[in-house]
Amino acid sequence: MNCQISQCRPMEYQLRGENQVINITSPYYPGFYATGTNCRYRITAPPDHVVVLSCRYELFPNICDSESFFISLDGDFQFRDAERYCSSSQMTRVSHFRSLSIAYYSSLAGTMVRGRFFCHAFAQQQACDCGWSPDLRVTNGQESLKHEFPSVVALRDLYASQRLFCGGSIISHRHIVTAAHCVEKRRNLSNIIAYVGYHDLMNDNESLYANQYGIQSIIVHPGYTTASTGRGNDIALLVTSKPIEWSRGVGPICLPWLQRNELFPYVTVDVIGWGTTSFAGSKSNVLQKVQLMILENHICQQQYNHSIMSSQICTFDYRGLGQDSCQYDSGGPLIYRQAYHMLLGVVSYGQSCGLRYAVGVNTRITTHLSWLWAYTQDDVCVKRK
């Protein structure tokens, strides 16, 4: 849509609760709007609500070249994903998340073309959801599809020479899971920024959903240990300074509440991140993914000179492609794909990355669910099926 605005400025409407109804009409309604003009309107519902919009629109003549009515269910004011209507009818639409945008566009000034519309909108509670993907860094990985992993987070230090330092996963509006070793020594929280909705970290304008959030506090697991025998309870929570906004490209991953007693042997998982693409190599600007297999702990232990704890979960390059997590992928997720994305582990440590048939050690999420619940509780979505 060409958004050269004439006659009216973009309008923002905020729904305060479920009992409020907002009416939106075209200029001069019930008369017709002026030809050669266009206007945009955005309606935003309260957190964890959607916008329900009903409209009646009349456009004459019924040709898209001159008169159009647009709806963006993502609330995009550039209408890059918009539905377009060029006739006279009525409809009801529900936003994907909190915001919904509408617009009309009239291209022929001083002609007999004309149009008008009347809409009303209200807020409706959004059901708890997690683990969605629009398309239901990593050694020798392949580039992920854009927005394939809405829960993934890049953690960056604004003032460090290596700005990207770890990955993470969104589990609620205010909570990000990462590895304890990523954040235990970081004292200046104002330096840490969580990048969400990104695919290419070097291009802020590449993604409709890209956003950045400051960190209010860090909670390191009290049982976290570091030793030559590996890291125990290598998990931490970051609390964001403001709530993370959901969209098709940003959202929480599901936690395995109903599978808390499962070990997941030999299932395949996606490991993703922006880390180096080879040992001591350069980092990737775009999000990478590899597919690894969960290995039983007693087999994993044969690759290391120390015990693998029950609170850890191992991954294996089962195809021998030299695929693995690598530097700066720490804290990122092990994602188990079903009808939704589920978090099984947090990247912790491994062998020299890029080795064929390499085995990596990660923090097991199922053994840390009680600790996570103590800090998040009703903020997280518990998927019931």
In angstroms, the Cα distances linking 338 to 37, 197, 268 are 47, 21, 11
pLDDT at 226: 87
Q: Residue 214's pLDDT band (boundaries 50, 70, 90)?
A: very high
Task: Please give the helix or strand (H or E) that residue 183 lies within, else none.
Answer: helix 180-183
Domain 11-125 shares a fold with domain 138-379: no
pLDDT at 205: 78
List the 114-125 sheet strands across, edge first. 21-25, 114-125, 49-60, 89-94
Paired with 338 in beta bridges are none
* Pairwise CA distance, residues 211 & 141, whole Å: 25
* CATH homologous superfamily for the domain 11-125: Spermadhesin, CUB domain (2.60.120.290)
pLDDT at 63: 67
> Which backbone phi and psi does 229 adopt, to 5 degrees?
-90, 15
Q: What is the DSSP code (8-state) at residue 180?
A: H
* Pairwise CA distance, residues 352 & 279, whole Å: 7
For 113, residues 6+ apart whose C-beta sits below 8 A from its C-beta are 35, 60, 61, 66, 67, 106
Where does 161-204 show beta strands of DSSP type E?
164-170, 175-178, 192-196
- Residue 30 scores a pLDDT above 60: yes
pLDDT at 106: 87
pLDDT at 113: 77
In angstroms, the Cα distances linking 319 to 293, 299, 311 are 9, 17, 25
Q: Tens digits of per-residue pLDDT, 12-23?
A: 999 999 999 999
49 is catalytic: no
Catalytic residue among 99, 106, 133, 330: 330
pLDDT at 277: 55
* Pairwise CA distance, residues 318 & 307, whole Å: 21
Of 196-210, 211-225, 228-242, 336-350, the poorest mean pLDDT is in 196-210
Catalytic residue among 234, 270, 324, 329: 234
* Pairwise CA distance, residues 95 & 73, whole Å: 4
Q: Residue 4's pLDDT band (boundaries 50, 70, 90)?
A: very low
pLDDT at 7: 56
- Residue 325 scores a pLDDT above 80: no
- Across the chain, what does the average pLDDT equal? 88
pLDDT at 6: 45
pLDDT at 114: 81
* CATH homologous superfamily for the domain 138-379: Trypsin-like serine proteases (2.40.10.10)
Q: For residues 185-205, give the mean pLDDT.
A: 90
In this structure, the strands spanning 21-25 and 114-125 are antiparallel
Q: For residues 308-326, give the mean pLDDT.
A: 85
Domain ranges of the chain: 11-125, 138-379
120 is catalytic: no
- Residue 143 scores a pLDDT above 70: no
- Residue 231 scores a pLDDT above 80: yes
Q: Tell me the pTM.
A: 0.87
Q: Tens digits of per-residue pLDDT, 252-302?
A: 999 999 999 999 999 999 999 887 554 444 567 889 888 999 999 999 999
pLDDT at 95: 97
234 is catalytic: yes
Q: For residues 167-194, give the mean pLDDT.
A: 96
pLDDT at 276: 58
Catalytic residue among 96, 173, 175, 181: 181
Residue 333: asked if its preceding bond is cis (omega within 30°), the reply is no
